[in-house]
Amino acid sequence: MNKQILRDTERQLRAVMKMSRAGIFATESKKWTISFANKRMAELFGCTVPELSGKAFIDYIHPAYILIMQKMTCRSCSGGMLRNLRLNCT
């Protein structure tokens, strides 16, 4: 695929994610470093988008759920998919 097409597609995807009313974020590496988060995701975590950028997503997980998230990450990295992951923020 042409590099320009990839750049345009990424830009369009980011625009859609940014405008979404759902909390959306993307991570890099197995350390779950947040590379993108929309405003709604930041609101769910009680911070701003710039405050989330570069932070480890796992730092926002309750200690009781860290092992579960790590197992899900390993499954995802080995070709599995994370489906219907919901964060209940109270």
pLDDT value, residue 67:
83
pLDDT, tens only, 41-55: 999 989 999 999 899
Q: What is the pTM of this model?
A: 0.64
3-state secondary structure the chain: CCHHHHHHHHHHHHHHHHHCCCCCEEEECCCCEEEEECHHHHHHHCCCHHHHCCCEHHHHCCHHHHHHHHHHHHHHHCCCCCCCCCCCCC
pLDDT value, residue 49:
92
